[in-house]
Amino acid sequence: MAVGLKKKGTTGAARNYITRTRAVKKLQISLPDFRRLCIFKGIYPREPRKKKKVTKGSTAATTFYYTKDIQYLLHEPLLGKFREHKAVAKKIARALGRGEAGDAARLEKHLIPKIKLDHIIKERYPTFVDALRDLDDALSMLFLFATLPSSEYVPAKTISICQKLCHEFEHYVITTHSLRKSFLSIKGIYYQATIQGQDIMWLVPYRFVQRSGGDIDFRIMGTFVEFYTTLLGFVNYRLYTTIGLVYPPKFNAKMDEQGGELSAFQLEGRSVIANGDATHNDDAPRAVNPDAQVIADKIAAQADTEEEEETIPAAVQSANEEEGTEGIDKFEVTAPDADVLPQPEASSAEVASLFAPFTFYLSRETPRTPLEFILKAFGSKRVGWDGTLGDGAFVTSESDPSITHQIVDRPTLSNGADASDAPASTNDGAAPKVQWPRSTMPGRTYVQPQWVWDCINQGKLLRPDLYAPGAELPPHLSPWVKAKKGEYDPTLSLQEQEADGEAAAFEDEEDMEDVSEVEAAKEDNGVDALLDRESSVEAGEGMDVDDSDDDEENESDEAEAAAAGEDWDGIDSDAESDISEGEAARLQHQRELEAEATGKPLEPEVGTTKSKNAAIRKKAEKKRREEEEERARQKMMLSNKKRKLLKRIEYGENKRDTEAEALRHKKRKLEKVKKAGN
C-alpha cells in the first residue's frame, strides 16, 4: 500500500499558528473588535520558533496567534454582541444620513447592546487567589485613569468609576492594615500590600497636570480599563464580604465634590444597623474570616471613637514613641563567610499601631492624598489638614493643641529661613536672620514627608530630628532592593564595606591631585617670569656641559643592573617591606619597654600621614598578592571546563567590585567636600 504524501503547510508548526488576517476573516468581525475581544479573553500574539516554516519561506512581518486560541473564540457569546452593535451602528448612520437625529438618538438609547464581562472574569480567574495575583496591572491602570483629566478620549464617567473603585480598595487596605511598603520614585508612588498571602504592588502617579500626546491609543487603554473595572469590582466585593462589610459602601456625593475623597465613603458591617439605613440580611453570604465580627464591631464604633476621642497625655506619647523606636532582634553575622539568616519582621499588630498614638497635621504644601492613606493604613485615626485642601479632616486649625506631629515641606533660603515666611528685604539688602519655622507650637514634632515613608519601610519610628524642616534628608532607598555581598550598600559606612588599604590609596590620590593642581597653577602664573629669565641669561650661564660619554656609560650600567635584577624585583621589594615591618615592630616594643621602665607615658610615634598610608597600602597589597597566588595554585588543580567557569565568575565579581569601589570613591569625595564646606 502506497503511503500518501502530506501537503506542505498543513501539519506541524504551520498548522499550529494562524495569521491575524485569517483569524479576523474566520471570526467575521472587524479588526478593532478582534483586538477588543483578544484583550477581554487574554489572548496575545505568539512568535513561532521557526518562522519560515509557518510562513512557507516568506520573510514579511506578520502577526501570529495560536490556532487553538482562535478556535476557542468561535464560541464566545461576545461575538453576537459585536455583530448586533455593528447592525445598530448601520441603522444609526442611515438615520443620520437622512437627517433624522431623533430616530438616531432613540436607536442609540434603546438598541445598543450592553456588554457584560462577568462570565469572562469567572473563566479567566477560577479561584480568588488567581484574581489577586493579576491585580497589579489592574490597580496601576485604574489609579492612572483616576488622575487623568476628562477629554474626548477619556470620558468623565470612566474617571469617576476608576476613582470610586480605587477609594474602595484603599478603604479595605486601611481597615485590614494590609499595606506593608511604599516608595517614592520618579514615575510615582509604589505601594505594596499583602492580601490573603499575596503581595500586590501598584503604582500611583503624582497629581500633576497630565498632558497626553497624540501617539497614545486610548481605545486600547480604554478596553483594558473596561475589563479592569469589572475585575476590581468583583475583587472589592469579595474582600468586603470576607471581613463582614457591606458592599458597596455608602458614598456621600456632596462630600466628594468638596474634596473629601476617602472621607466620602462610610463603611458598615453586615450585622450592624447604622442610622436605620442598613438592614441585616439572613440570606447574605456569611463572613469567611472568623474575626469578621470583631472587625465589624470596630467599624461600627469608629465614628463614635473619632468624635469622642480625648487628647493623649504627653507622657503617654513619649512612652509610646520610645516603645516604637526599639528595634526588633537582629541576627548578626558571626563570620565574613557565614550564612546570612533572614531578619525577623515586625508583626501585623505592631504595623497596625505604628502611628496610632499620634495626631497629624498636613501642611498645605504636602501631598495630602498619599499621606492620608499611609497614615490611616498604619493606625492613625486623627489626620488633619487645612480646610482649603478638602473636606473630611480631623482638625482644620493648625494651632490645635491636640496635634502631636506636623508634616511640612517648605523650601528654605540659603541661611535657613523659610521662603514663604520671610519678610521683605531690608534697605541694605541683607537676608533675614530667622530660622524656620518662625513660630512653632511647643510639644509638637515637625518632620518632612519622607519621615513617614522611611518609618513604614523600616517598621519603626525613626529619629525626627534627621527629618526636621530644612535638614538634609537621608537617602530614600527602595525597600525591595537589598544589597548583596560585595555590592555597594549606601546604608553602611565606608569603613564597614571598603577593602584594606582603600582609604589610604584614596588619601594618596587626593594628595597627588592637590600637588598637580598646585604645580599647574605655578606653571600658569610663572610662564612670563620664565620667559624673562631665559631672555636675560648671560653667556655660559645655565648651560649644560656635554657629557655624552659619561651618559652612555651610566645608561649601559643601568641597563645591565636592570637586566640582572629584573626577576628579583618583586622578591626584593617584599623582603624590604618585611624587614621594615619587623624593624618597626621591634622598635615599637623597645619604646614600650623603655616607657615602662622609666614610668613615663608612651610618646606617640612620630610619623607623617603619608608614610602611614604607604605602610597600610603595602600591607594590603602584600595580602592581596598572597591571596592571588593561593588562588592561582588552586586553579591549577581544576579541569579546563571548571577553570573557564571560574574565569567567568571572577569576571562578574571583578566588575561588581569595580562598580562598588567607584561608588565608594564618589561617596568619599562628597564627604570630603561636605567637611570642607562645614
b/e code 304-335 from CB counts within 10 Å (16+ = b): eeeeeeeebeeeebeebbeebeeeeeeeeeee
Q: Decide if 494 is inside a domain.
A: yes
Residue at a domain's end among 110, 127, 149? 110
Segment 227-236, tens digit of pLDDT: 999 999 999 9
**Ramachandran quadrant class, 455 (left: phi over 0; alpha: psi -120 to 50; beta: rest):** alpha
346: pLDDT confidence band, cut at 50, 70 and 90?
low
Residue at a domain's end among 187, 215, 242? 242
- Do 475 and 622 have their domain in common? no
Q: Would you state the pLDDT for residue 397?
A: 87
Q: Averaged over 523-542, what is the pLDDT? A: 46
Please, which residues have CB within 8 angstroms of residue 330's CB and are 6 or more apart in sequence?
A: 343, 344
Task: Determine which of 28-37, 428-437, 613-622 has the lowest per-residue pLDDT on average.
Answer: 428-437
Q: Decide if 453 is inside a domain.
A: yes
- Do 29 and 141 have their domain in common? no
Q: Decide if 365 is inside a domain.
A: yes
Please determine, for residue 581, whether its predicted confidence score (pLDDT) is greater than 80: no
- Do 150 and 84 have their domain in common? no
Q: Yes or no: say if 179 and 378 are a contact pair by the CB < 8 Å rule.
A: yes
603: pLDDT confidence band, cut at 50, 70 and 90?
low
Query: In this structure, what are the phi and psi dihedrals at residue 192, rounded to the nearest 5 degrees?
Result: -135, 125
- In the chain, the amino acid numbered 609 is T
- Do 639 and 497 have their domain in common? yes
Please determine, for residue 472, whether its predicted confidence score (pLDDT) is greater than 70: yes
Q: Which of the listed ranges 136-140, 251-255, 411-415, 595-599 does the model predict with the highest average pLDDT?
A: 136-140
Please determine, for residue 317, whether its predicted confidence score (pLDDT) is greater than 50: no
Is the model more confident about 615 or about 218? 218
Q: Would you state the pLDDT for residue 665?
A: 77
Q: Averaged over 367-371, what is the pLDDT? A: 93
- Do 649 and 505 have their domain in common? yes
- Do 188 and 58 have their domain in common? no
Q: Which of the listed ranges 204-218, 390-404, 476-490 does the model predict with the highest average pLDDT?
A: 390-404
3-state class (DSSP) for residue 418: strand
**What share of the chain has pLDDT > 90, as a percent?**
31
Q: Decide if 335 is inside a domain.
A: no
Q: Would you state the pLDDT for residue 572?
A: 43
The domain total for the chain is: 4
Do you find a cis peptide bond into 290, omega within 30 degrees of 0?
no
Please determine, for residue 501, whether its predicted confidence score (pLDDT) is greater than 70: no
Segment 379-425, tens digit of pLDDT: 899 999 988 888 888 988 888 889 999 999 886 544 444 444 444 44
- Do 98 and 156 have their domain in common? no
Cell representation of residue 555: 645608561
Name the H helices within 99-217. 101-110, 118-124, 128-133, 135-146, 156-176
Please determine, for residue 78, whether its predicted confidence score (pLDDT) is greater than 60: yes
Is the model more confident about 347 or about 674? 674
Please determine, for residue 573, whether its predicted confidence score (pLDDT) is greater than 50: no
Q: Decide if 6 is inside a domain.
A: no
Please determine, for residue 473, whether its predicted confidence score (pLDDT) is greater than 80: yes
Q: Would you state the pLDDT for residue 639?
A: 87
Residue at a domain's end among 45, 80, 110? 110
Domain that holds residue 195: 118-242
Residue 64 Cα distances to 15, 16, 17, 29, 478, angstroms? 11, 10, 6, 17, 39
- Do 150 and 38 have their domain in common? no
> What's the angle, vertex CA 589, arms to CA 588 and CA 593, rounded to 5?
120
Q: Which of 400, 407, 470 is nearest to 434 (CA)?
A: 470
- Do 17 and 51 have their domain in common? yes
Q: Decide if 578 is inside a domain.
A: no
Please determine, for residue 542, whether its predicted confidence score (pLDDT) is greater than 80: no
Cell representation of residue 552: 652612555
Residue 234 Cα distances to 135, 139, 278, 421, angstroms? 11, 13, 21, 50
Q: Decide if 530 is inside a domain.
A: no
Please determine, for residue 368, whether its predicted confidence score (pLDDT) is greater than 50: yes
Give me the CATH number covering residue 361. Answer: 3.40.50.10190
Q: Would you state the pLDDT for residue 538?
A: 43
- Do 369 and 470 have their domain in common? yes
341: pLDDT confidence band, cut at 50, 70 and 90?
low
Q: Would you state the pLDDT for residue 23?
A: 92
Q: Which of the listed ranges 268-282, 447-461, 644-658, 663-677 does the model predict with the highest average pLDDT?
A: 447-461
Please determine, for residue 321, whether its predicted confidence score (pLDDT) is greater than 50: no
Please determine, for residue 537, whether its predicted confidence score (pLDDT) is greater than 50: no
315: pLDDT confidence band, cut at 50, 70 and 90?
very low
Query: Helix 135-146 crosses helix 156-176 at what angle (to 10 degrees)?
Result: 120
152: pLDDT confidence band, cut at 50, 70 and 90?
confident
- Do 184 and 320 have their domain in common? no
Is the model more confident about 673 or about 392? 392
Please determine, for residue 15, whether its predicted confidence score (pLDDT) is greater than 60: yes
Please determine, for residue 303, whether its predicted confidence score (pLDDT) is greater than 80: no
Q: Averaged over 112-139, what is the pLDDT? A: 92
- Do 124 and 232 have their domain in common? yes
Q: Decide if 517 is inside a domain.
A: no
